[in-house]
């Protein structure tokens, strides 16, 4: 009996050691699942990653919970989206953490949006216009090519914080680049039928995806970003279908789909649920499956364009 217990103890110890974080690993606090996934791609076993949000949360409406402050307090690096996407909660979390290393301007603070070209910068800065982002649309991860630019800068930042593993970060970034570029070529080939297709969006969270794939956005159901659309605005959107008809309506997984369904049913076009980030839908379980999922769901919506009811059934889980 003692021999059996000893064997079990040895096996359990080995398992715990196999899955235990590497000693001295860089503690990385990320604000969203896409950045957590990118950090893991480049950091590998040399990082321990925590993520503040899930794929089913509205990134504009996160609360600065004590658990987030605790996670930030022990972080060596914060990886944020930036472009003011987290402005309502992240500055408070960082200040309350008391962690000098992760304050803005220090090596331990990293904003992904600083390394890509932002689109849709507003001409008029007026908070009465809803969730206006002064620097431009912050949802940069919709275009996988942006992950390459951000990944390069992130590898350099990890090397700065953890110079002893600089070569490992560089090697992982090179492998990531090769895999991602090959995947992008496949996604672009598969998504060719989507080029030039007119669509309606419920919330402008997929602008970089649309730009990448050449999809034409002809209207947004939210007249004011982040504010529920009025019946009058939806009726106006519907009236425009006569002159410039959209082929589908898309909306992010974290939003109520009522406005999209209202328009889709009356316009007789599909309504398509897209994950706004990893975990937004069951098939968007990692970085590569996330982009694959969005392309496939859009193609399914295009194929089912004969009627809204058929499109609904194919676009949802």
Whether 217 and 178 map to the same domain: the answer is no
Is the domain of 43 the same as that of 128? yes
Among 161, 186, 211, residue at a domain's last position:
186
Place of tokens 């896409």: 34
66 and 49 in a common domain = yes
Residue tagged 């000098």 (tokens): 100
8 within a domain of the structure (yes/no):
no
Q: Which of 159, 186, 213 is the last residue of a domain?
A: 186
Q: How far is CA 195 from the centre of its chain?
A: 22
The pLDDT assigned to 20 comes to 39
Query: What pTM does this model have?
Result: 0.87
Residues 182 and 208 in one domain: no
Residuewise pLDDT in 10s, the chain (317 residues): 444 434 334 433 333 333 334 568 999 999 999 999 999 999 999 999 999 999 999 998 899 999 999 999 999 999 999 999 999 999 999 999 999 999 999 999 999 999 999 999 877 656 555 566 688 999 999 999 999 999 999 999 999 999 999 999 999 999 999 999 999 999 999 999 999 999 999 999 999 999 999 999 999 999 988 889 999 999 999 999 988 899 999 999 999 999 999 999 999 999 999 999 999 999 999 999 999 999 999 999 999 984 433 334 345 55
pLDDT attached to residue 316: 52
Domain termination site, one of 151, 169, 186: 186
Residue 303 belongs to a domain: yes
* The pLDDT value given to residue 132: 65
The predicted pLDDT at position 9 comes to 41
For residue 1, is it within any domain?
A: no
64 and 173 within one domain: yes
CATH number at residue 309: 3.40.50.1980
Distance CA 220, CA 249 (A): 9
- Same domain for 158 and 27, yes or no, is yes
In terms of residue numbers, what domain contains 299?
192-315
Phi-psi region at 63: left, alpha or beta (left = phi > 0; alpha = psi -120 to 50): beta
């Amino acid at each position: 009996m003692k021999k059996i217990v000893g064997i079990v103890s040895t096996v359990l110890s080995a398992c715990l050691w196999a899955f235990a974080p590497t000693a001295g690993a860089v503690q990385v606090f990320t604000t969203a699942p896409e950045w957590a996934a990118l950090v893991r791609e480049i950091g590998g076993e040399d990082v321990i990653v925590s993520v503040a949000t899930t794929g089913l949360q509205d990134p504009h409406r996160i609360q600065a919970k004590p658990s987030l402050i605790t996670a930030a307090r022990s972080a060596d690096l914060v990886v944020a989206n930036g472009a003011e996407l987290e402005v309502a909660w992240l500055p408070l979390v960082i200040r309350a953490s008391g962690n000098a290393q992760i304050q803005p301007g220090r090596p331990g603070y990293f904003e992904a949006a600083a390394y890509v070209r932002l689109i849709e910068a507003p001409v008029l800065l007026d908070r009465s216009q809803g969730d206006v982002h002064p620097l431009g649309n912050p949802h940069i991860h919709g275009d996988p090519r942006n992950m390459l630019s951000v990944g390069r800068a992130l590898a350099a930042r990890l090397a700065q914080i953890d110079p002893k593993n600089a070569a490992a970060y560089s090697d992982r970034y090179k492998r990531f680049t090769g895999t991602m570029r090959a995947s992008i070529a496949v996604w672009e080939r598969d998504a060719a039928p989507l080029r030039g297709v007119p669509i309606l969006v419920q919330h402008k969270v997929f602008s970089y995806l649309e730009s990448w794939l050449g999809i034409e956005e002809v209207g947004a159901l939210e007249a004011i970003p982040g504010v529920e659309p009025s019946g009058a605005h939806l009726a106006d959107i519907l009236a425009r279908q006569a002159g410039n008809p959209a082929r589908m309506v898309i909306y992010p997984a974290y939003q109520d789909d009522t406005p999209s369904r209202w328009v889709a049913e009356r316009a007789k076009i599909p309504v398509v649920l897209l994950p706004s980030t990893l975990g937004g839908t069951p098939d968007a379980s990692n970085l590569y499956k996330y982009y694959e999922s969005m392309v496939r769901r859009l193609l399914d919506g295009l194929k089912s364009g004969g009627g809204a009811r058929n499109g609904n059934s194919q676009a949802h889980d």
